[in-house]
Structure 1
Amino acid sequence: MALNAQRRGEHGAHDHRVLTLDADSDHPRALVGGKGRALGEIARLGLPVPPAFCLTIAWCRECAVDPHAVLDEAWPDVLDGLKALQERTGATFGGGERPLLVAVRSSGVTSMPGMLETVLDVGIDDAVADALAARYSPGFARDTLDRFRRGYRRAVHVDPPTDPYEQLRGAMAAVLESWTSDRVLAYRTHHRLDEPDRVAVLVQAMVFGNLDAESGTGVLFTRNPATGSPEPFGEWLPTGQGDDVVSGARDCETLDVLARTMPDVHDELLAAGIRLEQHGADVQDVEFTVEAGKLWLLQSRVAQRSARAAVRLALALHDEGVIDEAEVLARVTPAQLRAAMATTLAPETRLAARLLATGLPASPGVASGLACTTSDAAVDASDAGHDVILVRPTTSPDDMAGMVAARGVVTEVGGATSHAAIVARELGLPAVVGCGSGLGAVVDGTMITVDGDSGEVRAGALEPTVWSAADTPELHRLDDIARRVSPLRVHADGDHPALDASEDAVAAALASGLVDARSPEPLVATLVAARLGLAT
């Protein structure tokens, strides 16, 4: 429901500036963003989600002029939202025997994993830390206070104020201001995102994965996003918070460890994943926290996946009756198809090259290039015409420009659900993560090859082979579906007009009434024609 109805009436255009997110809410994505929409859907499914409220996109469109002026005007409604959050949790923000801490997160219309700011544990000061120590343990209180101070300095770039309300205001302003950061602009430019809407700001009650030995945090993919295999996939970090997983700062365990240590929680998590996948009719990326043995779901979104996984998963969901053939073609883009048919290393080629490091195969494919250990160096080398491999201790949103410039990504630490892994899959970049400290210093300035299929980094620029429709069952099936739908028959050879596989060229061919054409990329051109045919 909307908060502060009388004030909403006074402000006309801002009727929906602060909204609660719960089982009774059904707010559109365009108003509360993807994450805000997901929280409501999780709650409506009866799954455990910490309560939250949202400063909506309808209000935040004005933050381009002055985010702080937005907060000045919206602050009374924010305080109303915080009051409602206290009533729903039975905890008190800023003090009391049972203190309420909150997470401040972004919620954009378009998912941009890791690009915008997040501040956790907002609302803690020395007195609140003392209350947490008395209620739980001194170690937990000290760890939470330290985490908050580090996270606030990173996101807001100043020392945190002692006043919890000023902390909340500063964290919300940091989320709003991050929309115009260099990394977000690089991301949006790369993905050609030009929607005018800005970002919603979520304020959600904290649950603590760092509370005790029966607490932790993790990520569940309902199917493997790197390979497309049907088994659940994810990572689990005992006694940690979510930023530990995404940053790659700590080594995570597999979900098998959670199954051994807390089998009931593991079973509940997998069951929730199945319900969320069925509800969304697609593979889900589920962020979760376990607090003192209780499961909480923090987010569920359509999982970013590698190009080959996109093909396999679309076909698998079709085989299960979840999506029809038209949706199969909608879920595999021409860019993904090109990447899916990109290169792998023949065994004799791979084994003949010197092995530099092994890690987790976070995103499949093969790429060679000049190893660059900073994002600035990667951008400069790419601008100079070099193929580049970005090699970092771990990536963060500030590395977005370097990742966009690179052909592949390697990190020294981090797991399969770290920032580097998630963004590399989204960008279609081969990636190997968790290769061990010191690798960057060894390879900087040399030519290396990243094998995201085997999880290896080898010396030199190695000659790859191609995953083709002729010898790959998944691509052959996709080709069959596309040809049944396509209004244009595209051939690899023959006496037909030549056709580029770009969308503009295919659209022009269809408009001219062409029914047969020849293309160096027949499968891609057929897919483009099929998608255009379905769109009309």
Structure 2
Amino acid sequence: MTFIWLGDAPDLDPALVGGKARSINRMRALGMPVPPAFVLSTAFCAEVSANNGRLTDRIMQHMSDGIDRLQAETGRRLGCDTAPLFVSVRSGGAQSMPGMMDTVLNLGMNTDVERRVAEYSGSPDFAADTHRRFVEQFSRVVGTEATGVPWDDLILAAEAVFASWNSPRARSYRAHHDISHEGGTAVTVQAMVFGNYDENSGTGVLFSRNPLTGDPAPYGEWLPGGQGEDVVSGRFDALHLEELEKLLPEVHAQLMAASEALERHGRDAQDIEFTVENGRLWLLQTRAAKRSPQAAVRIAVTLAQEGIITRQEAVALATDAQIAAATAPHVDPVARRDATLVASGLPACPGVASGRVVSDCEAAEKLSDEGIPVILARPTTDPDDVAGMVVSEAIITEIGGATSHAAVVSRELGTPCIVGCGQGVLDSLIGKTVTVDGTNGEIFEGILPLADVHGKEHDAVVQLRDWATETPVAVAR
């Protein structure tokens, strides 16, 4: 096993290279604008772990070979202060684990390189911002200060990314989502592009279809001057993609064309990360888009109607759980996007209800008698609380799990319930009006409107059920 150059093959095994590298490879193989990259496979992860977390000489040689090809491809050199190469060092398991493992951007920067970048870009601010981002992220991910020697920093960053596979948060995520701890992460090294370069630069995320509603129109955000995780972190106020269309219409048109092509190639709605550097579009990643249950059923139907997948594939694309959730009362997805989340926990009984939060059963009974909808919030419940539970629109608890008293009784009552919100979390909600979404385990401030359960999602479910009874047929490609 050696390093794998991305774009040389039509497809790669995600178990070998990780989902991120696989998507880069696919896009480059399709001739799309993607920065060049290579990957050290997941097979190396166990080797590094067995070597006390250090890269072996063999792996370092593969890294050196990969850097040599990256330098030849870009005409730049790592650590060179005349034509410096900058790279990102990214993790990537076979299955997506958003935010669980580590990434280092802008590697290749040091004081001398910053000075040179300020000269050739004409922007000391850009050079300083890029250096600052690198220093802060390197310190956070690697746990030590950058050495100032790019090759040494690269080795340390790769070791940190391999190690992130076994970080407590990654192991907890895999356990919760029933993902195997075997396999490991790959390390992808890719030439950097800079969304913070100038006024015609930025970063963004594009969904080929609306992941909240399932509407076929593309949906996404654009952050001028942004880089890396700036958009998805939520720390910055991103703009609608219409703003990119106004600023750089040709880039926007190119992005829309790429979105359509990637959706047809992937045979599913896509979540695409992109960067614009000095007016030039670069695609960084694409993957099947996460979506609400309501969007899931609509997307499955429209993909089949447009000939991207077969009807039988559409039936398989929407799960039974998504179909059930899509046809149950649920918060309007657009209202959910703008709502304030005040607490969350484990969903114990599905459904949605709004009301005033009370902390004891006597208050629940009194207000209910007055015609005021109530939400019963308790540290936990026991049989003495049933009288208050019966009159409540929803039940929320600070502790407890799926088999707790509150969960079992609420399911028997058919009352929306969320458990395990955290000790002390609910105290600040007493007396306030909230909306409890027992399907997703979320509590929102105020009264949120419900979506029409006989709307487009219902029609899509009916269509899927009709198709499920059909003999499999092919549709035009």
TM class, shorter-length = 0.7 to 0.9
Could you tell me which amino acid in structure 2 is paired with residue 306 of structure 1?
S
How far did residue 334 of structure 1 move?
A: 2.4
Q: Is the 8 A contact 2:399 2:420 kept in 1?
A: no
SS in 2 for 1:184: helix
Could you tell me which amino acid in structure 2 is paired with residue 48 of structure 1?
P
Q: 1:282 aligns with which of 268, 288, 313?
A: 268
Q: 2:100 aligns with which of 109, 112, 115?
A: 115
| Structure-to-structure mapping, 1:93-112, within 5 angstroms | 93-112=78-97
1:327 aligns with 2:345: no
Residue of structure 1 in register with 2:68 after alignment: 83
Residue of structure 2 in register with 1:458 after alignment: 445
Distance 1:224 1:367, change over 3 A: farther
Could you tell me which amino acid in structure 1 is paired with residue 117 of structure 2?
L
Residue of structure 1 in register with 2:109 after alignment: 124
Q: CA RMSD in A?
A: 3.9
Residue of structure 2 in register with 1:56 after alignment: 41
Q: Is the 8 A contact 1:222 1:231 kept in 2?
A: yes
Question: Tell me, which stretches of 5 or more residues in structure 1 are unaligned?
Answer: 1-15, 373-377, 389-403, 408-438, 487-536
SS in 2 for 1:343: coil
CA distance in 2 between partners of 1:445 and 1:108 (Å): 45
Distance 1:456 1:238, change over 3 A: farther
Mean Cα deviation higher: 194-203 or 92-101: 194-203
1:340 aligns with 2:296: no
CA distance in 1 between partners of 2:145 and 2:152 (Å): 12
CA distance in 1 between partners of 2:191 and 2:259 (Å): 22
Could you tell me which amino acid in structure 2 is paired with residue 220 of structure 1?
L
Q: Is the 8 A contact 2:23 2:286 kept in 1?
A: yes
CA distance in 1 between partners of 2:64 and 2:431 (Å): 53
CA distance in 2 between partners of 1:440 and 1:48 (Å): 49
Distance 1:470 1:141, change over 3 A: closer
TM-score normalised according to structure 2 size? 0.76
Q: Is the 8 A contact 2:195 2:276 kept in 1?
A: yes
Q: Is the 8 A contact 1:265 1:293 kept in 2?
A: yes
CA distance in 1 between partners of 2:61 and 2:397 (Å): 44
Q: Is the 8 A contact 1:116 1:178 kept in 2?
A: yes
Q: In the TM superposition, what whole-angstrom CA distance separates every residue of 1:203-242 from its partner, at most 9, and x where no partner exists?
A: 0000000000010000111111111000011000001102
How far did residue 118 of structure 1 move?
A: 1.0
Distance 1:30 1:476, change over 3 A: same
Residue of structure 2 in register with 1:177 after alignment: 163
CA distance in 2 between partners of 1:70 and 1:379 (Å): 47
Q: 1:191 aligns with which of 177, 187, 206?
A: 177
How far did residue 37 of structure 1 move?
A: 1.5
CA distance in 1 between partners of 2:397 and 2:2 (Å): 39
CA distance in 2 between partners of 1:298 and 1:285 (Å): 11
SS in 1 for 2:399: helix
How far did residue 484 of structure 1 move?
A: 4.3
Aligned length: 408
How far did residue 287 of structure 1 move?
A: 0.6
| Structure-to-structure mapping, 1:218-257, within 5 angstroms | 218-257=204-243
CA distance in 2 between partners of 1:133 and 1:443 (Å): 51
SS in 2 for 1:322: coil
Residue of structure 1 in register with 2:291 after alignment: 305
Distance 1:56 1:479, change over 3 A: same
Q: Is the 8 A contact 2:93 2:185 kept in 1?
A: yes
Residue of structure 2 in register with 1:156 after alignment: 142
CA distance in 1 between partners of 2:87 and 2:456 (Å): 54
Q: Is the 8 A contact 1:67 1:177 kept in 2?
A: no
Distance 1:71 1:251, change over 3 A: farther
| Structure-to-structure mapping, 1:404-423, within 5 angstroms | none
Distance 1:72 1:231, change over 3 A: same
How far did residue 387 of structure 1 move?
A: 8.6
Residue of structure 2 in register with 1:314 after alignment: 300
| Structure-to-structure mapping, 1:354-393, within 5 angstroms | 358=339, 366=352, 381-383=399-401
Q: Is the 8 A contact 1:125 1:145 kept in 2?
A: yes
Q: In the TM superposition, what whole-angstrom CA distance separates every residue of 1:33-84 from its partner, at most 9, and x where no partner exists?
A: 2211111211121111000010012222434434624444411110111111
CA distance in 2 between partners of 1:316 and 1:386 (Å): 42
CA distance in 2 between partners of 1:331 and 1:471 (Å): 15
Q: Is the 8 A contact 1:371 1:443 kept in 2?
A: no
Could you tell me which amino acid in structure 2 is paired with residue 93 of structure 1?
L
Residue of structure 1 in register with 2:13 after alignment: 28
SS in 1 for 2:231: helix
Could you tell me which amino acid in structure 1 is paired with residue 399 of structure 2?
A
SS in 2 for 1:130: helix
CA distance in 1 between partners of 2:378 and 2:193 (Å): 40
Mean Cα deviation higher: 465-474 or 138-147: 465-474
Residue of structure 1 in register with 2:202 after alignment: 216
Q: Percent identity?
A: 42
Q: 2:151 aligns with which of 165, 177, 191?
A: 165
Q: In the TM superposition, what whole-angstrom CA distance separates every residue of 1:485-505 from its partner, at most 9, and x where no partner exists?
A: 79xxxxxxxxxxxxxxxxxxx
Could you tell me which amino acid in structure 1 is paired with residue 318 of structure 2?
V
Distance 1:466 1:48, change over 3 A: closer
Question: Tell me, which stretches of 5 or more residues in structure 2 are unaligned?
Answer: 342-350, 355-374, 380-395, 408-417, 473-477
CA distance in 2 between partners of 1:469 and 1:34 (Å): 35
CA distance in 1 between partners of 2:202 and 2:127 (Å): 16
Q: Is the 8 A contact 2:298 2:456 kept in 1?
A: no
Distance 1:66 1:337, change over 3 A: farther
CA distance in 2 between partners of 1:379 and 1:169 (Å): 47
Q: Is the 8 A contact 2:55 2:155 kept in 1?
A: no
Distance 1:296 1:446, change over 3 A: same
CA distance in 1 between partners of 2:457 and 2:273 (Å): 37
Distance 1:441 1:160, change over 3 A: farther
SS in 2 for 1:162: coil
How far did residue 290 of structure 1 move?
A: 0.4
